[in-house]
Each structure stands twice: as structure tokens, then as C-alpha cells.
Amino acid sequence: MTASTLLPVTRAADLAEVATERRWLVEYLWADEAVGIVGGEPKCCKSFLALALAVAVASGEPCMRRFPVVRTGRVLLFAAEDALHVVRQRLAGIARAAGRELADLDIQVITAPSVRLDVDRDRDALTETVAKLRPRLLVLDPFVRLHRIDENISGEVAPLLAYLRELQRRYHVAVVLVHHARKGGAKMRAGQALRGSSEFHAWGDSNLYLRRHGEQLTLSVEHRAAASISNVALHLDTADGAVALAALEDDERAPGPVASSPAALTVEHRILAQFDGAAAPLTATALRKLCQIRNATMKTALAALVADGHLRRDRVGYVLAR
């Protein structure tokens, strides 16, 4: 074996450190240079969330008016399901809700009729486009329109995700991939409810999941190398003709990793704490009184805890699922 065939290695202690301020692209939502999924069932505003990330990174304004942007830059977007005038209208509305004009933002939209990640020609074209534009963020929406493979077969999905990972590493670009959750997956953990192969869940560094409980949208966040935040209630704000996702203000506590201080416990942790030593199931009414939480907030949190497998509901009330 010659020296030219050896793989490059470095002592662990000599690996570069990443400064704390460089760990996030959008604080608490998306890690810097992360690949990942924005997932959810149909009509859960997945595209609006992906566009909210795009506008935030391009403008530097807080995403959904709450999550600070740490690193700004150019955004490259391919919206495979929406007409170009619809894409422009949505972006303009989100920008206006953030107090900015779309014309001032460096968001580049791929206008090709299709981009297929399973076609060599299209992969080469996307690579060259990223190499030339050097975006901070690449948004691909949705995955189902980017191929003609069987999403249930790991051996077909993995090479496409590996290509996007290579793109991220070579050009230091964060990649947001919008993907559908399977129907009837509301009772499964969010990552496991993604449609198709388990490769999707395993691939993501930062994953955002949207679920609808009646009229309430709930965002859950998952990171490979950082603490997640508590679930966030969202709604579509239509003020002044600008349609944009916004975080509800029931809980004014700034988002962040779960703290150990009792005063900083999330709504979900406050609910779960009531089950310590509980000899019988607890009803929603009892939990609301114990936690002193608004009814709407309690309903949303309980639905999320059941969906994520922390609680289950029996004929009397709620009990720990594990």
C-alpha cells in the first residue's frame, strides 16, 4: 500500500473547534451547515415554514418573529409544486411580515420546470449552480417531486440523500428538504412518521416537524448535536394582507434548551412532572389546575405528548406511556 492510497487522518485533539456563535444558522431551529427535513402531513404549512427559514436567513430578521438568525446569506430555492407567481407572492408576504421588502433580499429561485436528483444531468446542474452562487441555505420543496425512485427502499433513497450531504460538505451550505409524513402517522413519534425509508430521519442534523391538532399547528424540533426546544404553537398570520407563520404568544419565555431550574420548565415538562408518584390517571382538567396553564395551551401540549409517545389516554384520563 502506497502513501497515496491512505485516507487522510488527524489527531482528535487537533480537530478544529467550532465557536458557540457559529453553531446555529437560525438559533434553536437550524444548525449551521446542517442538512435536514421539514416534515409533516399535507396542509400543515411545511412550505410556509421552509420559506420562513429562507426569508429569515436572507434578511437577518428573526424567523417567525421569534428565532434569531445567527448567520445571514444568499438563499437558493427550488419550489417544485408551486407556480412561480405563487412563490413570489408567498415570499413577499413573509418578507413584509418581517418588515422587509422582497426586492432587498438575496433569494435566488430555480425556475427550471424540474430538477431530478436521480438524474446525473440534473445533479450536475444543481452542483454547478450551488458552486457558482455559494448560497448559505438551499431549500428543496418537496422531495417527492425531485425523483422517480421508490421512497420506501433504503437502497434507492440513500444515494440521493448522500448526494445532498456531499453538496453540504463541499460548499458549506445548509440544506432544507421538505418531505411528507405518512397518513395516519399522528400517533407516531414525529421522525418515525416521515413517509418512506427510515433513511430520512437518520439523515437529518436538524429536523422540524409540523402537526395539526384541530385548528392548532404545533412545531417540534430535533437536532443531532444540540438540545431541542419545547414544542411551539404556530398559526398563519394574515395581518395587512401578508400571510406568514408566526409563533403564538401563550408562552413568552424565550425559546432555548430545556433548563434544570423549575421556573424554566417547559409546558410539557410541567405536565409530565405531575405524574411523578401519581396513583391514578390525571384528567386534563386536573392537570390544567395543577400546572396553571390555559386550556388551549394544555390541549396542544397534551396532544403533542400523546403523539410523541410520552403519554397515553385511557377511559379515565392520561397516564405515562413509558
195, 217, 247 — which closes off a domain?
247
- The reply to whether 240 and 289 lie within a common domain is no
Report the pLDDT value the prediction gives residue 162, as an integer from 0 to 100. 98
- The reply to whether 59 and 167 lie within a common domain is yes
- The reply to whether 32 and 120 lie within a common domain is yes
> What is the C-alpha to C-alpha distance for residues 103 and 92, in angstroms, rounded to an integer?
9
In a domain, 215, yes or no: yes
In a domain, 126, yes or no: yes
- The reply to whether 158 and 207 lie within a common domain is yes
In a domain, 55, yes or no: yes
In a domain, 256, yes or no: no
- The reply to whether 44 and 126 lie within a common domain is yes
pTM of the full predicted structure? Answer: 0.75
In a domain, 271, yes or no: yes
- The reply to whether 144 and 242 lie within a common domain is yes
Residue 85 DSSP SS3: helix
Q: What is the CATH number of the domain that holds 47?
A: 3.40.50.300
In a domain, 9, yes or no: no
**Residue 65 contacts residue 80 (beta carbons within 8 Å):** no
247, 277, 295 — which closes off a domain?
247
- The reply to whether 176 and 50 lie within a common domain is yes
**Residue 207 contacts residue 194 (beta carbons within 8 Å):** no
In a domain, 5, yes or no: no
CB-facing half-sphere around the CA of 58: CA atoms within 13 A: 29
The CA–CA distances, whole Å, from 145 to 51, 85, 149, 315 equal 17, 19, 10, 43
- The reply to whether 242 and 270 lie within a common domain is no
- The reply to whether 98 and 219 lie within a common domain is yes
Total residue length of the chain: 322
Report the pLDDT value the prediction gives residue 156, as an integer from 0 to 100. 97
> What is the C-alpha to C-alpha distance for residues 138 and 38, in angstroms, rounded to an integer?
13
Report the pLDDT value the prediction gives residue 19, as an integer from 0 to 100. 55
- The reply to whether 271 and 218 lie within a common domain is no
Residue 251 DSSP symbol:
-
Provide the residue-wise pLDDT of the chain in tens; the chain has 322 residues. Answer: 565 788 889 999 888 776 554 589 999 999 999 999 999 988 899 999 999 999 999 999 999 999 999 999 999 999 999 999 999 999 999 999 999 999 999 999 999 999 999 999 999 999 999 999 999 999 999 999 999 999 999 999 999 999 999 999 999 999 999 999 876 555 556 666 798 899 999 999 999 999 987 778 999 999 998 888 889 999 888 877 788 999 886 444 344 443 333 333 467 777 888 887 777 889 988 888 887 777 777 887 888 788 777 888 888 888 888 6
> What is the C-alpha to C-alpha distance for residues 118 and 159, in angstroms, rounded to an integer?
9
In a domain, 242, yes or no: yes
Q: What are phi and psi of 208, to 5 degrees?
A: -120, 130
- The reply to whether 225 and 97 lie within a common domain is yes
| Count of structural domains, the chain | 2
Q: What is the CATH number of the domain that holds 294?
A: 1.10.10.10
Longest dimension (CA), the chain: 72
> What is the C-alpha to C-alpha distance for residues 162 and 233, in angstroms, rounded to an integer?
32
Domain containing residue 156: 22-247
- The reply to whether 229 and 284 lie within a common domain is no
